[in-house]
Amino acid sequence: MKGTSRSMGRRSGAHEAVAGYLFASPVILGLLIFVIGPMIAGLIISFTNWNVLTKPAWVGLHNYIDLFTTNLFFGRSLAVTCYYVAGNTVLTILYALLLALMLNQPIRGRGAFRTIFYIPAIIPIVASSALWLWLYNPNFGLFNEMLQAVGLRPFPWLSQQTTVVPSLIIMSVWGGAGNTIVIFLAALQGVPRQLLEAVEIDGGNWFHKFRAVTFPMISPVTFFNVVVGLINSFQIFAQPVIMTNGGPNDASLFYVFLLYREGFQRNNMGLASAEAWILFLLVAVLSLLIFRTSRQWVYYEGGNP
């Protein structure tokens, strides 16, 4: 009897495993066909010289060596992109956290304010880029009109190399903070009220409550927002294409724009694939570093993993 029950148990477990794999097969196939397959193909193409129209020619590490030795645009775009990523990630986190703290207070019209600050996140990138092109216009843009109204000189938002990236960062913070605000709000509403009251009883002010209770409790969400913001910032593409076309003088030639130009305008798919894999490795390494350092500042109720 025991042997029979064990055999039936094994068969039942096997049937459940098969059923589980069948239900998961669409996701597994999608991952293999649309993610892992193209990644492997891109890695192989990165070792070739291929212009799409002719047969790929194997060149080994030539594309990677060319990027790090003779390609002037590669280093410049990587530096510009890292500058943008650092500024956009930090400012978006600070801006979203500040607004989330304010919108978490019991103020009149709180729901309306939350909606207003979330609306930029659902505006299409093309539409928001056109809007900000008008705001930044040097002749009749709203921002320069406001500066002139108070007696200040017009500001070269997108027309100078030193101001174009900060101007794009301002736009990205405005448009990309909506989802981050919502996530921070959800985390703030989960902070135990009794802990905040304990700080008040001990004579602490709002800063003590934030440092000792609020930030440690929302640190896992902050960690998530930092990682997602970092990855998204490295993928900036539409804004510089629409607003600056990489100018002036390649000052806004971001990495993905360079990759697109190399692969789809110059038909150099081998070099573009090498750039894509370098970007993938760069983002992976930076994400790994953030994960490693998170143990020093991220608090988990059950203890750090």
Domain boundaries, the chain: 2-45, 62-296
Q: Say what the pLDDT of residue 295 is.
A: 86
- H/E element, 57: strand 57-58
pLDDT tens track, the chain, 305 positions:
444 555 555 666 667 778 888 888 999 999 999 999 999 999 999 999 999 888 999 999 999 999 999 888 999 999 999 999 999 999 999 999 999 999 998 888 888 999 999 999 999 999 999 999 999 998 889 999 999 999 889 999 999 999 999 999 999 999 999 999 999 999 999 888 898 889 888 888 888 889 889 999 999 999 999 999 999 999 999 999 999 999 899 999 999 999 999 999 999 999 999 999 999 999 999 999 999 998 888 988 655 55
Q: What are the start-end ranges of the H helices in 104-243?
A: 110-118, 125-136, 142-149, 161-188, 193-201, 206-209, 215-234, 238-243
Q: Say what the pLDDT of residue 288 is.
A: 95
By the 10 Å C-beta count (0-12 exposed, 13-18 middle, 19+ buried), 6 is classed as exposed
Question: Where do we find the tokens 């798919």?
Answer: 269
Contact 190, 277 (CB under 8 A): no
Q: Say what the pLDDT of residue 301 is.
A: 67
CA distances from 281 to 60, 119, 231 (A): 18, 34, 12
* Distance between CA atoms of residues 57 and 270, nearest Å: 9
Contact 218, 184 (CB under 8 A): yes
By the 10 Å C-beta count (0-12 exposed, 13-18 middle, 19+ buried), 8 is classed as exposed
Q: Say what the pLDDT of residue 272 is.
A: 95
Q: What is the pTM of this model?
A: 0.90
Q: Say what the pLDDT of residue 10 is.
A: 60
Residues near 235 by beta carbon (within 8 Å), at least 6 away in sequence: 256
Domain boundaries 62-296, corresponding CATH code: 1.10.3720.10
Q: Say what the pLDDT of residue 21 is.
A: 84
Query: Which has the closest alpha carbon to 78: 266, 283, 297?
Result: 283
Query: Which has the closest alpha carbon to 260: 237, 278, 240?
Result: 237
Q: Is 1 helix (H, G, I), strand (E, B) or coil?
A: coil
Q: Say what the pLDDT of residue 200 is.
A: 86
Query: Which has the closest alpha carbon to 164: 246, 267, 282?
Result: 246
Contact 170, 176 (CB under 8 A): no
Neighbours of 123 (CB within 10 A): 14
Q: Say what the pLDDT of residue 8 is.
A: 53
Q: Say what the pLDDT of residue 138 is.
A: 87
Neighbours of 43 (CB within 10 A): 14
